């Protein structure tokens, strides 16, 4: 059983994609930019957070556009976010079994905190890290080490897991030498990536949902 589990937020613990898209579509239209699907495909650097991509999207207007994005999101979008299926049961299971919980996300911290409180008001998290809380964001391992900077046990694959839904999360775990857990089917990963990682010397674990992770922990106590 792990001592700590670090979790991604967007589309790992909570359904947030529709809220992000709504806010992005609003701000792109305001600045006469192409729709989100086109802008994302053309200009987004997948190794960077959304905030870090705003200069790619808006050029010299990036800071102003990002402020307006945050304002719109807080006023109209964050309260449409919902917990991922069975996420609450999983988090309660971890709290009951003394597994420390952390969130490490590349999301703007102000939005992240509001969404966590909205979705999981009764769950205890040791730390919640958002964009900029570590020197570098995922896939760099910095968020892992910042989150766990006060633990007394070894930070390794036996003691620490990282659960996420993207290559950023998986690579962050590998870079920190902790156990990577892929939730879902890795729909944003290249063909063959998941298969290669599952069969590697440091195997990626893949689960369809949170109930499957609970079952795995109970069997492998």
pLDDT (tens digit per residue) in 7-45: 999 999 999 999 999 999 999 999 999 999 999 999 998
* 81 has pLDDT over 90: yes
pLDDT (tens digit, 9 = 90+) per residue, 114-144? Answer: 999 999 999 999 999 999 999 999 999 999 9
Band of the pLDDT at 185, cuts 50, 70, 90?
A: confident
Contact call for residues 142 and 134 (beta carbons, < 8 A): yes
Record the pTM.
Answer: 0.91
Task: Specify which residues 104 forms β-bridges with.
Answer: 129
Comparing C-alpha atoms, which of 34, 66, 41, 38 is closest to residue 52?
Answer: 66
Mean pLDDT computed over 58-64? 96
Contact call for residues 50 and 17 (beta carbons, < 8 A): no
What is the per-residue pLDDT for 15? Answer: 94
What is the per-residue pLDDT for 46? Answer: 81
Q: Which two tokens stand for residue 197?
A: 């990682």
Question: Residue 164 CA to chain centroid, in angstroms?
Answer: 6
Comparing C-alpha atoms, which of 28, 195, 121, 170 is closest to residue 113?
Answer: 121
């Amino acid at each position: 059983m792990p001592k700590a589990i670090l979790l991604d937020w967007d589309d790992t613990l909570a359904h947030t994609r529709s809220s992000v898209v709504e806010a992005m579509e609003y701000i792109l239209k305001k600045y006469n930019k192409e729709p989100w699907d086109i802008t994302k495909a053309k200009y987004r650097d997948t190794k960077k957070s959304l905030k870090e991509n705003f200069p790619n999207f808006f050029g010299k207007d990036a800071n102003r556009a990002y402020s307006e994005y945050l304002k719109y999101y807080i006023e109209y979008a964050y309260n449409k976010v919902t917990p991922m299926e069975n996420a609450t049961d999983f988090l309660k299971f971890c709290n009951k079994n003394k597994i420390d919980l952390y969130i490490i996300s590349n999301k703007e911290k102000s939005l992240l905190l509001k969404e966590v409180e909205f979705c999981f008001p009764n769950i205890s998290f040791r730390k919640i890290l958002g964009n900029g809380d570590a020197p570098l964001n995922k896939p760099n391992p910095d968020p892992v080490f910042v989150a766990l900077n006060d633990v007394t046990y070894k930070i390794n694959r036996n003691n620490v897991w990282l659960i996420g839904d993207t290559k950023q999360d998986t690579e962050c775990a590998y870079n920190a030498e902790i156990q990577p857990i892929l939730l879902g089917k890795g729909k944003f990963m290249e063909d063959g990536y998941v298969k290669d990682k599952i069969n590697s010397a440091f195997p990626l674990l893949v689960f369809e949902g949170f109930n499957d992770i609970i079952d795995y922990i109970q069997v492998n106590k």
